[in-house]
Amino acid sequence: MSATNLLTVSYSPHLSGTESVQKIMYRVLIAMIPAFAVSLIFFGLGALVVTSIAVVSCMAFEYLINRFMLKAESTLWDGSAAVTGVLLAFNVPSNLPVWMIIIGSLVAIGVAKMSFGGLGKNPFNPALVGRVFLLISFPVQMTSWPKAIESRLAYLDATTGATPLAILKEGIKNGQPLSELMKEIPGYAQMFIGNMGGSLGEISALALIIGGLYLIYKKVITWHIPVSILATVGLFTGILWMIDPGKYADPLFHLLAGGIILGAIFMATDMVTSPMTPVGQLIFGAGIGLITCLIRIFGSFPEGVSFAILIMNAFVPLIDKYVKPKRFGEELKNG
């Protein structure tokens, strides 16, 4: 007796779950909607132009490199290039010229991602590599921040101002007292909803946290990295603030200003470039928090989240080598 159908033979398991790379990436895109909406409100036209250009050019470079250089199957619709595009846009000012965005996308996708073998093989966060490349190459354009609301209908001709962190850095360098500088900075409630100067997607803590909660709820990320980063920043700046509140800004300021929340929720949690174990993730996050504070307070840049994440990305293989999950039956437990 023989079967009329040809049977498939393969090893178990014969079932597969419903998760896919595509679903994960699309969830990240959904999670970025609130932050994008806020930046549309505050930066208007510029936010729309910069984000669209970044997404389109990231996807275009991914397609072209796959098609003509790697001659590999297209990975365009896994959504990862689009995520990189949005994240790159989130990390630049909303008045960045189109050609610079395209260069940033090429570095992000071409250099930081595809040259290592595509999604999953890159040691560094592609969007951040793109961003840091732009920051070092075009420091002026990368640090001219359109003012929120005022420049809603403008793109390249937006009126610019300094970010809260830059105000503080410059002022302290010039010997101004902290209490006076704080008057130039928007109130914490305004900073929380995002009414301040800064990169396109980093301004609204509220919107970013909503996105982060969605990602945790959907099990795309776990709480470990964001909490560890924010707690370290809070602790470190808190200690300094308690030592000398006249010289160092309070922890709440440091948490609301700059890109720390964007970094903690969307950049550092990039699964490709972060450690595999929860304990490893806590160490990774603590490292990022610490380096960020060191750069902000003692370094020459006003902001250091991108550098901190990239530096800690380099430590991921080391962390994964030494921090192992607890094996079942590792120690004898009775009762």
Give the footprint of another protein on this chain (CB under 8 A). Answer: 1-5, 7-17, 19-21, 23-24, 75, 78, 117-121, 271-274, 276-277, 320, 324-335
Nearer to another protein, 183 or 327 (CB): 327
Contact 75, 61 (CB under 8 A): no
In whole angstroms, how close is the CB of 118 to another protein at the nearest point?
Answer: 6
Nearer to another protein, 141 or 222 (CB): 222
Query: Are 204 and 35 a contacting pair, CB within 8 Å?
Result: yes
Q: How far apart are CA 276 and CA 173, in angstroms?
A: 40
Which amino acid is present at 52?
S
Cβ at position 323, least distance to another protein in Å: 11
Closest to another protein by CB, 14 vs 173, is: 14
- Closest approach of another protein to the CB of residue 258, in Å: 27
Cβ contact 230:264 at 8 Å? yes
CB nearer another protein, residue 123 or residue 238: 123
Nearer to another protein, 50 or 114 (CB): 114
Q: Which CB sits closer to another protein, 75 or 199? A: 75
**Residue 132 C-beta: closest distance to another protein, Å:** 21
Q: How far is the CB of 126 from another protein (least distance, A)?
A: 13
Distance, in Å, from the CA atom of 259 to the CA atom of 268, rounded to the nearest integer, reads 11
Least distance from C-beta 211 to another protein, angstroms? 18
Question: Of 19 and 157, which has the nearer Cβ to another protein?
Answer: 19
Neighbour tally for 71: CB within 10 Å: 8
CA 145 – CA 137 distance, rounded (Å)? 17
DSSP annotation of 8 reads P
Tokens of 221: 């990320």
Phi, psi of 160, rounded to the nearest 5 degrees: -115, 160
What's the closest the beta carbon of residue 288 comes to another protein, in angstroms? 17
**Alpha-carbon distance values, 121 to 124, 125, 259, 319 (Å):** 9, 11, 25, 17
DSSP-assigned states of every residue in 210-243 = HHHHHHHHTTSS-SHHHHHHHHHHHHHHHHHHHH
